[in-house]
């Protein structure tokens, strides 16, 4: 992919230079440049523009200790012909990206012209929004801007840790050369991960690419086009080098995030409500079973008591009748005895 310089393609020049604008936003689909530097060793030597400077070796200490050779192309984010631009010094309103983009995603610390046929996805974590992704037809682009020291070297010192993290996940990595210098590439059977780092005045722009198999080169080209149009706003607030710059989401994204958080809250409450309902139903069933058992026990005792009462009732007891007869006989004997005595 050949990235053409924007040449300060301002809105006021659009009517005068339509051909130049068309060239500026060319996607480079027919460019002979390959994404994989191993397959095309001369890819890193292709100039970004007619007066693009040669790459400069600036290996970081950590990367050098691991034997990684990191290069950085000099990039002028203020007076250069191509981004990413320093938004605190360059006015994005003087550029027209309509040939490439459907709109500008304003995140406060970054303004990103979204490529056509793309959408924004907010990745949710346990506590809320975690990451913001640009979803394209070729894969996913995740932009993050970091604070950096005034001196260069932030990207070089980051490469070692990033490579270790990717390799720890079981993906072999290699360093390849891109428009701004060294890029980290990792490939497996499912696709590719590529990390692009670009340094600006006290900031570092990092793009992480995730492409399925067969879409790697397309996503790499598109991501580089996106990076070349990004505006980074570092501001003057003291931020520790290496910390990400604060992000403020547009209102429509905030609404989507709030709706998603509410949905998750309801989903989390459902098992608890169901558990309470199940417990209530179980308690009710147990109470009903106990009541039936108690009813049966009480009913049995009442029947036994009724039978017992019936056995001792004088009208129904045959033994009582015999006893009465004997008493009568005894009375007769007594009468006879009384007569003899007379």
Beta strands per DSSP E along 189-304: 191-200, 203-212, 231-232
Same domain, 189 and 278: no
Lowest mean pLDDT among 54-63, 199-208, 216-225, 234-243: 54-63
**Structural domain that includes position 256:** 250-303
Phi, psi of 234 (to 5 degrees): -75, -40
Tokens of 301: 């005792």
Residues 6+ apart with CB under 8 A from 256: 122
Indicate if 76 and 166 belong to the same structural domain.
yes
User: Do 219 and 271 belong to one domain?
Assistant: no
pLDDT tens per residue, range 110-122: 999 999 999 999 8
Query: Within a 10 A sphere around the Cβ of 116, how many other Cβ atoms?
Result: 13
Whole-number mean pLDDT of the chain?
73
CB-count exposure of residue 273 (10 Å: 0-12, 13-18, 19+):
exposed
Torsion sign (Cα): 16, 18, 19, 21: positive
| Banded pLDDT at 82 (limits 50, 70, 90) | very high
Residue 324, Cβ neighbours under 10 Å: how many?
A: 10
Residues 172 and 243 in one domain: yes
Q: CA-CA distances (angstroms) from residue 139 to 91, 142, 206, 212, 223?
A: 30, 10, 16, 7, 10
Residue 266 lies in a domain: yes
Q: What is the number of structural domains in the chain? A: 2
pLDDT tens for 121-155 read 988 777 767 789 999 999 999 999 999 998 888 89
- Percent with pLDDT over 90 in the chain: 42
Question: Could you tell me if residue 93 is inside a domain?
Answer: yes
pLDDT digits (tens, 9 = 90+) for 268-305: 877 666 666 666 777 777 667 666 665 565 665 555 55
Same domain, 32 and 105: yes
Residues with Cβ within 8 Å of 221's Cβ and at least 6 positions away in sequence, in order, are: 1, 27, 28, 29, 35
pLDDT above 70 covers a percentage of the chain that reads: 59
């Amino acid at each position: 992919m050949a990235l053409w310089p924007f040449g300060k393609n301002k809105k006021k020049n659009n009517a005068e230079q339509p051909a130049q604008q068309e060239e500026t936003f060319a996607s480079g689909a027919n460019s002979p440049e390959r994404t994989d530097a191993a397959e095309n060793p001369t890819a890193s030597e292709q100039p970004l523009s007619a007066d693009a400077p040669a790459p400069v070796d600036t290996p970081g200490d950590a990367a050098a200790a691991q034997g990684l050779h990191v290069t950085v192309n000099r990039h002028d984010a203020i007076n250069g012909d191509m981004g990413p631009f320093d938004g605190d010094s360059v006015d994005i309103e003087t550029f027209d990206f309509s040939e490439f983009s459907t709109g500008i995603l304003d995140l406060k610390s970054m303004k990103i012209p979204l490529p056509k046929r793309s959408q924004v996805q907010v990745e949710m974590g346990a506590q809320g929004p975690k990451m913001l992704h640009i979803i394209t037809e070729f894969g996913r682009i995740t932009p993050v801007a970091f604070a950096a020291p005034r001196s260069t070297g932030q990207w070089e010192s980051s490469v070692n840790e990033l490579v270790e993290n990717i390799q720890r996940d079981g993906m072999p990595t290699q360093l390849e050369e891109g428009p701004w210098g060294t890029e980290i590439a990792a490939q497996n059977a499912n696709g590719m991960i590529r990390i692009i780092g670009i340094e600006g005045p006290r900031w570092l722009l990092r793009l992480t690419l995730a492409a399925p198999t067969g879409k790697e080169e397309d996503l790499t080209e598109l991501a580089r086009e996106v990076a070349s149009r990004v505006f980074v706003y570092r501001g003057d607030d003291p931020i520790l080098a290496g910390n990400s710059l604060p992000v403020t989401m547009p209102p429509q994204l905030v609404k989507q995030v709030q709706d998603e958080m509410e949905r998750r809250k309801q989903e989390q409450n459902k098992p608890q409500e169901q558990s309470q309902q199940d417990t209530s139903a179980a308690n009710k069933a147990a109470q009903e079973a106990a009541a039936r058992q108690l009813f049966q026990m009480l009913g049995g005792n009442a029947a036994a008591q009724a039978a017992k009462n019936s056995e001792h009732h004088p009208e129904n007891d045959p033994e009582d009748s015999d006893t009465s007869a004997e008493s009568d006989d005894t009375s007769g004997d007594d009468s006879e005895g009384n007569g003899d005595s007379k």
